[in-house]
């Protein structure tokens, strides 16, 4: 029986490269000269620090551009609130990985509403879709690609 998995993954190696490139660009840009602006990454959290909130916005734009250029979908970025204290501003950007239970139930509901002859099962942070016909599975992939979901989805382990 053909199956495939729906996952939401981020290549952390490419994220690390994008953060390094962004740090170098911020250090070399004229409008950041003499400013204490930095980016750090720990697991799925990127911390942006600067002297003003508008500088954080510029750094975030540079980071998004570098991530997109490296093939990482920027929809995985969840921007936190800007925290300002004194002459420092800080913002946390969380990289969303995996499909949480709420999104998984939403995807299962979307697939069931199409009335295709497939079965779906939630397996941790991924969704397994199986069916008798390869064409039905391809219709599910097409339908999920067209849906407006705020998190990037990948389709892997397609097996006959």
Q: Which of 71, 95, 119 is the last residue of a domain?
A: 95
Low-confidence ranges of the chain (pLDDT < 50): none
What sign for the dihedral angle of Cα 74, 70, 58, 44?
positive
The reply to whether 112 and 46 lie within a common domain is no
C-alpha distance from residue 79 to each of 61, 64, 71, 83, 155 (Å)? 12, 11, 19, 12, 25
The reply to whether 24 and 66 lie within a common domain is yes
Tally of structural domains, the chain: 2
The reply to whether 90 and 21 lie within a common domain is yes
Domain of residue 120, CATH code: 3.30.70.860
What range does the domain containing 139 cover? 3-8+98-159
Structure confidence at residue 149 (pLDDT) = 83
121 vs 30: CA distance, rounded Å: 52
Structure confidence at residue 146 (pLDDT) = 86
The reply to whether 22 and 88 lie within a common domain is yes
Domain of residue 68, CATH code: 3.30.70.990
Structure confidence at residue 27 (pLDDT) = 87
Structure confidence at residue 45 (pLDDT) = 92
The reply to whether 83 and 136 lie within a common domain is no
Q: Which of 64, 95, 126 is the last residue of a domain?
A: 95
The reply to whether 133 and 87 lie within a common domain is no
Contact 124, 106 (CB under 8 A): no
Structure confidence at residue 21 (pLDDT) = 92
132 vs 157: CA distance, rounded Å: 16
| pLDDT tens readout for residues 19-50 | 999 999 988 888 888 788 889 898 889 999 99
């Amino acid at each position: 029986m053909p199956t495939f998995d729906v996952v939401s993954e981020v290549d952390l190696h490419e994220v690390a490269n994008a953060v390094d490139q962004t740090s170098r660009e911020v250090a070399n840009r004229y409008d950041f000269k003499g400013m204490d602006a930095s980016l750090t990454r720990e697991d799925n959290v990127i911390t942006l620090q600067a002297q003003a909130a508008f500088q954080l916005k510029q750094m975030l734009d540079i980071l998004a551009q570098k991530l997109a250029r490296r093939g990482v979908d920027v929809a995985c970025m969840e921007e936190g609130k800007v925290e300002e204290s004194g002459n420092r501003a800080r913002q946390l950007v969380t990289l969303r990985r995996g499909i949480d239970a709420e999104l998984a139930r939403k995807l299962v509901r979307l697939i069931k509403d199409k009335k295709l002859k497939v079965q779906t099962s939630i397996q941790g942070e991924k969704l397994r879709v199986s069916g008798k016909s390869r064409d039905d599975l391809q219709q599910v992939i097409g339908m999920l690609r067209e849906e407006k979901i705020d998190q990037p989805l990948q389709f892997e382990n397609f097996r006959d």
